Amino acid sequence: MNLLKSYLLPRIAQWVITVFIGITVTFIIPRLIPGDPVERTLSSLGSLQTLDPRAVESLKEALADLYGLNGTQFDQYVNFWKRLFKGDLGPSLSAFPTPVVEIIAKGLPWTVGLLTTSTLISWLLGIALGTLAGYSPKRLWWQMVDKAFISIYPIPHYILALILVMIFSYYFPIFPLVGGASGKPALSWAYISSIFEHSLLPATSLIVLSTAFRFIMAKALTTTVAGSDYVGYAETAGLSKWRIVLFYVIQNTMLPQVTDLGLSLGAVFSGALIIEIVFSYPGIGYSLYMGVFQADFNLILGITIFSIVGIATAAFLVDLSYPLLDPRVRYK
């Protein structure tokens, strides 16, 4: 009960406040952009000149209602939240009358799959390699790995993605250049292998850079912990290297690394969106890019809202893992 009051409830309140502020800012910013979505939609229709002016005005009113642009800014804000709780994000302007929710539903599995897989692999790999390098810093092999990751870390996501595209899709056409899969969706080995082939380069771009960061952080934490008294006592007691690394080093460096994972989810997500744009990967990042390119007001708003809720929820779940990793949190 004490854990519920002192730990869980404050974090639930923090999640609610974060999502509320994020969505409110998302509502305000697009309305500061010059241009009228209704007029933009009408300009894309070529048959308006043959319509009666009253019919055009009726169409404008219908579109304004459809896009949630009727009334004052406050009325729009209230109606926005009402529609949001109903799961209604309106139609896409660029793919009218397809609902925004439907477009997001198509792209979300691709983004979640790419992001989850690359984050887990890079997090575990970076911690493992960084811990071993920090515990045995004088070994030539780990010194070479350290220099390699330090050299890779400053490279932006899109630069590494373009390098991989040029090498493995252009000069040596081993992997597909764009897309998420080939053929019709089916539970077959051909389609599953196609997904793997199309996602390998995007995932590699994310994994390499994220692993470099995790490696540097894990090595720094391990260097600090390796000089502590309890590690020295374990070495004096004759415990094996692997036992010391697993139960004395990693266990005591895990909490700050979990904390950093929660804090870096936003940056990882933004990197995934950039990777999707470079590879034309059919996730919500590529949909967002097309929405910005085509000035799709509703699509930009919908994807941003999903991103805010998703990142905040993931960080919230990471935060809830603290009591499992640190007994001091459970007994405060």
Q: Dump pLDDT digits (tens) for 179-209.
A: 666 667 666 666 677 777 777 888 888 888 8
Domain extents for the chain? 100-296
Q: Which of 127-136, 172-181, 228-237, 310-319 has the lowest mean pLDDT?
A: 172-181
Helix intervals (H) in the chain: 2-3, 9-28, 37-43, 53-66, 73-85, 100-135, 140-152, 157-165, 189-226, 229-236, 241-244, 251-279, 284-293, 297-320, 322-325, 327-330
Length, in residues, of the chain? 332
| Tokens standing for residue 262 | 């929660």
Helix (H) or strand (E) holding 184: none
pLDDT, tens digit (0-9, with 9 covering 90-100), for 240-269: 777 877 777 777 777 777 777 776 777 777
Q: Which of 68-77, 105-114, 297-306 has the lowest mean pLDDT?
A: 68-77
Q: At 117, which amino acid appears?
A: T
Q: What is the CATH number of domain 100-296?
A: 1.10.3720.10
pTM: 0.75
Q: Which of 34-43, 119-128, 163-172, 276-285 has the lowest mean pLDDT?
A: 34-43
pLDDT, tens digit (0-9, with 9 covering 90-100), for 39-92: 666 666 555 555 566 666 666 666 666 666 666 777 778 888 888 888 777 777
